[in-house]
Structure 1
Amino acid sequence: MRTIDQFTALPDAARGLSIALGNFDGVHKGHVQVIRSAAKAASAKKCDLGVAVFHPHPKQFFMPSSAPSNLQSAAGRARSIQNLGAKVFYQLPFDRAMSLMSDADFAQKVLHEGLGITHVSVGENYRFGRDRVGTATSLQALGQQFGFSVDAVPLAGGEQRYSSTRVREALQAGDCETASSILGRLWSVEGRVEFGQQRGRTIGVPTANLSLAEYIRPRFGVYAAFAQIEGEGPVLPGVVNIGTRPTLEGKEERLEMHLFDFTGDLYGRMLDVSLLHFLRDEKKFDGLDQLKNQIGQDIKKAQKLTHAYLQVDPTGSS
């Protein structure tokens, strides 16, 4: 998949595509429906599939201090989009000039003259243009004017509405099940394993430490989870703590994962950690003995949950 960060002076191979347009944070089930709609049009029109997003996210441009945290890393989003068949990934630069474009100007200058699209699929609630005046309905009218077809795709399955906001709300409540039902997979954090204080080793529970970086902070606490080591085979079950480790006087927000029956060296390796089920809130214990006892109970619960899950889904992903 080719990544392009402009919409002018494009090579011929990056023009004339059927595209899906949106933010696609998390690439949830609704996003997949939009991208598949564009893929269907690409097949009918005998052209390649593209996916277009704004970079940075408009909310990050207008309100950088209060913009929502990411559900997925940039690399993770790109992989998800590529896995859905996209040949070109447009990261449209969202700057002051873009923010001032009317909906008609965006359709003409970016979609028609810039990308030269043959088709665009959007979510039925998509808004665009200055002051977000453009809608999926107005885009359909503009498509007729500039010669490209438009599909407005419902972002729902049955009675469930798919949205990135609902995923964030579920994660912040510790509701992994609702989050995964919208995403179509377990929510995950990927990062490089960093050196920690190695306190876990002193109580017989070594952990792999990941920075939460720009990810949304799920409910602080302990989770049953899985990890995928980059370049290696099946997922590994374990137990995760997300938070500040109050018993150890920690302050930095981190993810720490203890892998069951694993003895290898993970420092510097890329790890993709998927949350299965929330076990309990993070708390401060009176001492290390009390903490060690509670971790033992957490491990037993997590082992039972991960074992049962792998009987249904051996990949540990959906």
Structure 2
Amino acid sequence: MSDLQLLDPEILPPGLRDGHVVVGNFDGVHRGHQSVIRQAAEPARAAGRPVVALTFEPHPRSFFQPDRPLFRLTGRDEKARQLARAGVDATVVLTFDCARSTQEAEDFVADVLVGRLAAHTVVVGWDFHFGRARKGSPAFLAEAGPRHGLYVEVAPPYGGSTPISSSMIRDHLAAGEVLAAGRLLGRRWILEGEVAHGDARGRDLGFPTANIRLPPETRLAFGIYAVRALVDGRIVSGAASYGRRPQFDDGAPLFETYLMDFSGDLYGKPLRIELVSRLRGEEKFVSVEALVAQMARDVENARAALAAPEDPLAPSALA
């Protein structure tokens, strides 16, 4: 498995040319996205061809609607990791800017899919659109591809009468329904960030935490979570709080993780954390002593949740 990323390449390395290319935004790389990748990967492997994912940064919606910040399920690096986990050999990231947004669909096929990627086969989801004014529909691509020497396949909706979507997963996370979100993703949801200095209040209370400031558009429900974190190559159990700390300052949201049976300096290091279950909502207690007592119970409840059998529909994805 490789999470190789190529940013705005003019031409692909020889080993990635003449491959099967999947195209999409792929936010979350959920089970619907994975079905598109499988449709491309299975015949590609049989023919000895590479599988390449083509995606865009920033997310096109963020470009067109900057006043409506988008809750991203996966940043660029995490998306590449999950695309690799789903069977992709390399991820090509195209910058989505004014020039890209006004590019005609026909030119996108000729310049990008044929010119830059030298694709043999292109696979897109049933609802994917591209090009100026979104004129590049799956039907357009199916008609235009052969004229440019491309084989084209359109993957059908995945998930029955209500196809799985990134928006559905965002809504589950906003409601604190991390197991439901994980089942649509096909794995536990992972957040990532750099450990930042805090006010050391957790250490003073007996529960030192690694603190991550998530993007302000994150819609994860405030509360206490049982989590696992990837720390220096090993997986560590934890209990995390996400919220505004109403007991103290009611400040900007912060994701604070108490790592069980761990000691070490993590400041400035990247941390990947997967949510296993939500234990309770964020609360304000009658006293700091009552809060500390609840924190001890939260750690024990997190241990119990993490010791439960793995959900086969939402397994760990940290390793």
Q: State if a TM-score over 0.5 links the two structures.
A: yes
Q: Contact 2:226–2:238 at 8 Å: present in 1 too?
A: yes
5 Å-filtered alignment, 1:90-239, equals 90-158=92-160, 161-213=163-215, 216-232=218-234, 235-239=235-239
2-structure distance, mates of 1:273, 1:239: 11
Shift of 1:289: 1.2
Contiguous gaps of at least 5 residues in structure 1: none
1-structure distance, mates of 2:84, 2:308: 31
Aligned position for 2:18: 16
Matched, 1:283 2:278: no
Aligned position for 1:253: 253
Partner letter of residue 59 of structure 1?
R
2-structure distance, mates of 1:125, 1:115: 22
2-structure distance, mates of 1:99, 1:210: 33
**The one of 28, 33, 45 aligned to 1:43:** 45
Shift of 1:183: 0.8
- Deviations along 1:251-297, one digit per CA (max 9) or x if unpaired, are 12211011233334433443221111112221223331121122223
- 1:317–1:108 distance in 2 versus 1, CA, 3 Å: closer
Q: What secondary structure does 1:305 align onto?
A: helix
1-structure distance, mates of 2:193, 2:135: 38
Tell me whether 168-177 or 97-106 shows the greater mean CA deviation: 97-106
- Deviations along 1:60-116, one digit per CA (max 9) or x if unpaired, are 211123141211222111122233443332112222222122322222232123322
2-structure distance, mates of 1:22, 1:311: 28
1-structure distance, mates of 2:269, 2:95: 32
2-structure distance, mates of 1:108, 1:266: 47
Aligned position for 1:300: 300
Q: Contact 2:241–2:256 at 8 Å: present in 1 too?
A: yes
Matched residues, number: 315
- 1:138–1:26 distance in 2 versus 1, CA, 3 Å: same
Q: Contact 2:187–2:316 at 8 Å: present in 1 too?
A: no
2-structure distance, mates of 1:203, 1:249: 15
Q: What secondary structure does 2:206 align onto?
A: coil
Q: Contact 2:11–2:117 at 8 Å: present in 1 too?
A: no
Q: Contact 1:155–1:163 at 8 Å: present in 2 too?
A: no
So what's the TM-score if we normalise by structure 2? 0.89
Shift of 1:239: 1.3
Q: Contact 2:69–2:217 at 8 Å: present in 1 too?
A: no
- Deviations along 1:105-153, one digit per CA (max 9) or x if unpaired, are 2222321233221111111111122221222122111112211111211
1-structure distance, mates of 2:183, 2:203: 35
2-structure distance, mates of 1:90, 1:317: 22
Q: Contact 1:103–1:133 at 8 Å: present in 2 too?
A: yes
- Deviations along 1:8-56, one digit per CA (max 9) or x if unpaired, are 4555445322111001111111111112222224235432211101222
Q: Contact 2:37–2:86 at 8 Å: present in 1 too?
A: yes
Cα RMSD over matched residues? 2.5
- 1:213–1:273 distance in 2 versus 1, CA, 3 Å: same
Aligned position for 2:244: 244
Aligned position for 2:54: 52
Q: What secondary structure does 1:127 align onto?
A: coil
Identity, in percent, stands at 35
2-structure distance, mates of 1:283, 1:85: 42
5 Å-filtered alignment, 1:76-91, equals 76-91=78-93
